[in-house]
Amino acid sequence: MSEDQNTKNTNDNVGIRRRRMSERSEAPEAPSPRLSVSKRRSGQKPPKKEQKKGISLKTGCGLGCSGVFLIFVIVTVCIFVHMLTLFSHAREGILNTDMLKGREEFQTTVVIEEGASLKTISEKLHEAGIAESPFFFRWKAKTERVAADFKYGEFELSNYMTFDEVAAKLSNSADDYKKFTVIEGQSIFDIADTLEVMGICTAEEFLDVCDNGEFDYDFIKDIPDRKNRLEGYLFPDTYFIYPDAGPWDIANMMLDNFNNRVAEGLYQQIKESSYSLDEIVIISSIIEKEIRLDSERPIAASVINNRLEQGMKLQMDATVLYAGQEHKGRVFYSDTEIESEYNTYYIDGLPIGPIGNAGLKSYEGALNPADTDYIYYVVANTATGEHYFTDDYNDFLRAKNEYISGF
């Protein structure tokens, strides 16, 4: 190789080395692995990758969607159960569960305009608190085929009325029906006499239906075979009697009311008591006739229970009056000797049957007796009907003498 070529090659090699060194100096310096480890050991952490804000579709939405779905299922089930309950009540003719829940009864006037549709009527009844569900009122009206009979005008209705009672009122003008009220404590004989005076039926016809009529209620089957079979089961209330109503229809209205308010309305309480339904009806009828003040009804119930538990005769004056079918304010010694299965001075235990038709307050008292040792009571104030209760016989005699001296 010539000298000139050697010189050229040498220069070329030098140029290449210079370009490589220049490229190295311009390139960024790679971090030293040892230095990087040292920095992490001194507490400095490597920078984290920046995460995007938002909810992860894999976790957040999964939990959220399942929660929403669970709430949807619960709400749907609650609505279904509520609708099923309303449907069941509608089939039984119960428009409003106020009576089943023990809410206060009220009367209201509903105005139906001429030409009002069934939908409008049902909504008016709902707004007035008479029908809980407008839909089920319409369904019942169509099923029973009575919607076409509804008239316009002003109608006085109650939140305790059944569908049949409301439909009957809407199907008749005010001049078509007669208002009939059964007062708490009245007997079937009192009711029969009132119906005869009103010209609806004879007393004999009504009493015959009470003893021999056929009615489709479970509690009827459990009433013992006795005279005055429906005594105690004709629930006190205001009823509206229509021209074509006979003694059976009237008795059935009152039995239906008893079924809703007592047999079913108080079913659980009666079941948990130590008495049968018939025994509760008997005890309630005695309380109704003996006691005027609602606050004393549970106390009187405790007296009845205590005397029964101790094997004492009840000796309730109201049972004597029923046995003799007399209406008077005072019982004499001769009255207590009446030989009757209703006379609790004559027989042991409860009378053979109820002595009248009790109101709801007396049933509540019978089912919730006060916790006392009382076995006697006597009227303390004839004006208010207040009684004096005691567990001491001598104390009772003293109070009794004070009562007698007032005559």
Percent with pLDDT over 90 in the chain: 52
Same domain flag for 136 and 198: no
CB 95 within 8 A of CB 138: no
∠ CA 193-162-270, rounded to 5°: 80
pLDDT band for 173, please (50, 70, 90 cuts). low
Same domain flag for 292 and 378: yes
Look at residues 316, 197, 203, 213 and name the one whose alpha carbon lies nearest to residue 255.
Answer: 213
Tokens of 31: 């971090």
Same domain flag for 399 and 303: yes
Last residue of a domain, one of 204, 237, 263: 263
307-356 pLDDT, tens per residue? 999 999 999 999 999 998 766 667 778 888 899 999 999 999 999 999 99
* pLDDT at res. 406: 73
Q: d(Cα 366, Cα 274) in Å, to the nearest integer?
A: 11
In a domain, 88, yes or no: no
Q: Give bridge partners of residue 153 from the DSSP assignment.
A: 112
In a domain, 20, yes or no: no
Same domain flag for 151 and 196: no
In a domain, 82, yes or no: no
Q: d(Cα 161, Cα 109) in Å, to the nearest integer?
A: 13
Which runs of E-coded beta strand occur in 334-375?
none
Q: d(Cα 90, Cα 193) in Å, to the nearest integer?
A: 34
AA letter at 102: G
| Cα dihedral value 241, 246, 249, 250, nearest 10 | 50
In a domain, 50, yes or no: no
Of residues 388 and 30, the one with the higher pLDDT is 388
Its domain, for residue 123, covers 107-170
Same domain flag for 259 and 214: yes
CB 180 within 8 A of CB 353: no
Of residues 288 and 58, the one with the higher pLDDT is 288
Same domain flag for 244 and 349: no
C-alpha distances out from residue 387 to 167, 211, 259, 381, Å: 44, 36, 32, 7
3-state helix, strand, coil in the chain (%, to 5): 50, 10, 40
Same domain flag for 226 and 303: no
Q: d(Cα 47, Cα 40) in Å, to the nearest integer?
A: 11
Phi first, then psi: what are they for 360, rounded to 5°? -65, -35
Last residue of a domain, one of 170, 186, 208: 170
In a domain, 34, yes or no: no
pLDDT band for 270, please (50, 70, 90 cuts). very high
44-90 pLDDT, tens per residue? 555 554 444 444 444 445 556 777 777 777 777 666 655 555 555 54
Res 371 pLDDT > 90: yes
* pLDDT at res. 98: 64
In a domain, 339, yes or no: yes
Same domain flag for 120 and 190: no
- b/e per residue, 273-287, with b = 16+ CB within 10 A? bebebbbbbbbbbbb
Number of structural domains (the chain) is 3
Burial class (CB in 10 A: 0-12, 13-18, 19+), 289: buried
Kindly report the pTM of this predicted structure. 0.65
In a domain, 80, yes or no: no
Average pLDDT score, the chain: 82
* pLDDT at res. 328: 60
Q: List, as one string, the DSSP characters of 288-314.
A: HHH---GGGHHHHHHHHHHHHHTT---
Same domain flag for 288 and 317: yes
Look at residues 277, 250, 282, 253 and name the one whose alpha carbon lies nearest to residue 264.
Answer: 277
CATH number at residue 140: 3.30.1490.480
Tokens of 180: 């009939």
Same domain flag for 323 and 373: yes
* pLDDT at res. 169: 86
∠ CA 105-165-261, rounded to 5°: 45
In this prediction, residues 205-232 reach a mean pLDDT of 96
CB 254 within 8 A of CB 235: yes
382-392 pLDDT, tens per residue? 999 999 999 99
* pLDDT at res. 77: 67
Same domain flag for 373 and 298: yes
Q: Give bridge partners of residue 378 from the DSSP assignment.
A: 388
CB 370 within 8 A of CB 299: yes
CB 151 within 8 A of CB 112: yes
Last residue of a domain, one of 199, 234, 263: 263
In a domain, 213, yes or no: yes
Same domain flag for 239 and 317: no
